[in-house]
Amino acid sequence: MSQSYDRGTIEDFGRWKEFSAGMWAWIFHKFSGWVLIGYLFTHIAVLSTATQSPEMYTQTIRSLESLAIVRVLEVGLLAVAVFHILNGVRLLFVDLGVGLEAQDKSFYASLAVSAAIVVASVPTFLAGAF
Amino acid sequence: MAEHYSSFEYKGTRWFLQRITAVFLIGVLAFHFMLLHFVNHAAEVTFLGTQARMQQVGYFGTMIAFLVTATFHGVNGVYNALVNQGLSGTRRSTVKWVLVVASGVLILQGVRTSLYMAGILS
């Protein structure tokens, strides 16, 4: 028999120490979503240099990629993208009613796999940056 | 858990489209990262390399579909998050139309940029 718990509202961030796994998953999914939509607008703006000239496009991307801070931010982008994808898969299963009892474990798995993929990708993302 | 929690009207149109676009984006976003960071490194991107990819009809079509679905999924997600926070009335309507216009501008500019990348516009 399932039970319901009154965990209060997620919006009351002052009680973050009492948050359950599902509440953290909700916050991380929203945060990563905001970052990704913000990046999409920025990405199209940068790529729009292709409308000016081929040289400006190549030069803009090469200049940005030569900055170490951009490479580090790309690792951060990868982290939020991978987490959003993996937690999104988890949410699709939850919506289908699959694995509801293990939704906390699947959140921890999303975090662990995201971390593993990001750490393994760091050498590729930072190659030649420093 | 006995209750269903969601930012959406359960099984509404926006709920459904958010999940359909999610399924598409899971594959295409992963492909995009793999292709432009691991197969081709971002630091080595050139206009000619981009043009070679964008002149393939399948790749071009995939990128346009990626742009449209990502814009819808992202902006619809932002709208639902704000509604979930209590946005209502005139402010909700204003935010909705600002997001609709922003989405339209983003898609138009993305398609225009894609046409330049493919060499159709120059």
pLDDT at A46: 98
What string of DSSP letters covers chain B? --S---SS-TT-HHHHHHHHHHHHHHHHHHHHHIIIIIIS-GGG--HHHHHHHHTSHHHHHHHHHHHHHHHHHHHHHHHHHHHHTT--HHHHHHHHHHHHHHHHHHHHHHHHHHHHHTTS--
Residue ranges covered by each domain of chain B: 13-117
Domain ranges, ordered by start, for chain A: 22-34+66-126
Over residues B65-86, the pLDDT tens digits come to: 999 999 999 999 999 989 988 8
Which residues are within 8 A (CB) of B103 and not within 5 positions of it... i.e. 6 or more apart? B71, B72, B75
- Residue in B closest to A34 by C-alpha: B78
Q: Are A4 and B48 in contact (CB < 8 Å)?
A: no
pLDDT confidence of residue A31: 96
Q: What is the mean pLDDT of chain B?
A: 92
Could you tell me how far CA A111 lies from the centroid of its own chain? Answer: 10
Which stretches of chain A drop beneath a pLDDT of 50?
1
How does pLDDT run along chain B (122 residues), one tens digit per residue?
A: 445 555 555 668 888 999 999 999 999 999 999 999 999 999 999 999 999 999 999 999 999 999 999 999 999 999 998 998 889 999 999 999 999 999 999 999 999 999 999 999 99
Per-residue pLDDT tens over the stretch B40-50: 999 999 999 99
The complex's ipTM works out to 0.90
* Cα three-residue angle B95-B15-B27, rounded to 5 degrees: 105
Which residue of chain A is at minimal alpha-carbon distance from B77?
A33
pLDDT of res. B107? 98
Predicted TM-score (pTM) of the model is 0.90
Question: Which CATH number applies to B13-117: 1.10.3470, 1.10.287, 2.60.40, 1.20.1300?
Answer: 1.20.1300
Nearest CB neighbour to A50, from listed B37, B71, B113? B113
Is B22 in Cβ contact with A30 (below 8 Å)? no
CB-CB under 8 Å, B23 with A92 = yes
Give the per-residue pLDDT at A36.
98
B45, B76, B85: best mutation site toward chain A, by most A Cβ within 10 Å? Answer: B45
Q: Give A62→chain B minimum CA distance, Å.
A: 6
**Whole-number Cα distances in Å, A1 to A4, A103, A109:** 10, 17, 25
State both tokens at A46: 């940068």
pLDDT (0 to 100) of residue A128: 87
